[in-house]
Amino acid sequence: MIDLILLLALRMVSYFVNLMRIFLGKILYFCRGHDSALITNYPAFEVAQLPRFNVTCNDCGPPGSTIPDRYTSHAGNGNATFPTFTWTPPPGVNVAEYALVCEDPDIPVPGCSQAISIIYNIAANKNQLNDDDVRNAKDPDDTSANIRLRWISDIHDSPYKGPGALLGHGTHRCFFTVIALNAPIQLDRNRPLNKDRFAAELVGKVVGWGQWHGVIRDG
């Protein structure tokens, strides 16, 4: 009997927590569209006529498609799969490496485009990034030898847990930006590692970029 009462109590708590989340999401619904805070609007991208290149995602479809749950936080327990992205190298420039930034400009935080995941030190001879690549990426504090890919995130403790929308806040957009660089990214591990620090390191190194975006369903 006690177990049944506890179960019912837990369900009631869960129900009211979800109601509060929906209520909060509805209140904050119009706090979205912070496109000016996307990585491509940072100073490193102000160079005139930066080459653009094509980025595709066969796992999710053409730009603007709804991203399947398995590639978002809706996969549950941090088990989101990183969708495979393929790009065409920018013509006429020497690329030292690539970086990929995944961000959500529709989170209900004024002026913020949240960095879900930043993968950098992608080899210049690669034109594709997949889930296996990302799972093997290391954080900047790992000083092991022979590390290629590294990652940072504003919110997660692993390379990729997927974007997600606050329950009741409506759909969100998620942008995946591939950046071509003429010199390697070398972040100082003794300073805070976040999107702003990463963006500062890009200044003078960006020689082209491409972008794919999709839609995340309401939480």
Tens of pLDDT, residues 57-72: 999 999 999 999 999 9
Q: What is the token pair recorded at 68?
A: 């399947």
By residue count, the chain amounts to 219
Q: What is the token pair recorded at 49?
A: 């006529």
Q: How far apart are alpha carbons 83 and 3 in whole angstroms? A: 42
Closest CA to 81 of 71, 73, 93: 71
Sheet holding 97-104, edge to edge: 150-152, 114-123, 97-104, 172-181, 206-216
Homologous superfamily assigned to 31-216: PEBP-like (3.90.280.10)
CA angle 41, 46, 52 (to 5 degrees): 80
Q: What is the token pair recorded at 210?
A: 């491409």
Is the pLDDT score of 8 beyond 80? Answer: no
Which DSSP state fits 69? G
What is the overall mean pLDDT for the chain?
85
Specify the higher pLDDT residue, 8 or 185. 185
Segment 146-156, tens digit of pLDDT: 557 888 877 66
Domain assignments of the chain as residue spans, ordered by start: 1-29, 31-216
Segment 9-25, tens digit of pLDDT: 566 656 555 556 565 55
Segment 38-60, tens digit of pLDDT: 999 999 999 867 888 999 999 99
Is the pLDDT score of 214 beyond 80? Answer: yes
Q: How far apart are alpha carbons 56 and 211 in whole angstroms? A: 8
The rounded Cα 133 to chain-centroid distance in angstroms is 15
For the chain, the maximum distance between any two Cα atoms, rounded to a whole number of angstroms, is 74
Q: Which residue has the tokens 């920018």?
A: 90
What CA–CA distances, in Å, run from 150 to 4, 73, 86, 105, 174?
A: 48, 21, 19, 23, 21
Is the separation of the CB atoms in 218 and 167 below 8 Å?
yes
- Give the least confident one: 19-28, 76-85, 118-127: 19-28
Is the pLDDT score of 117 beyond 80? Answer: yes
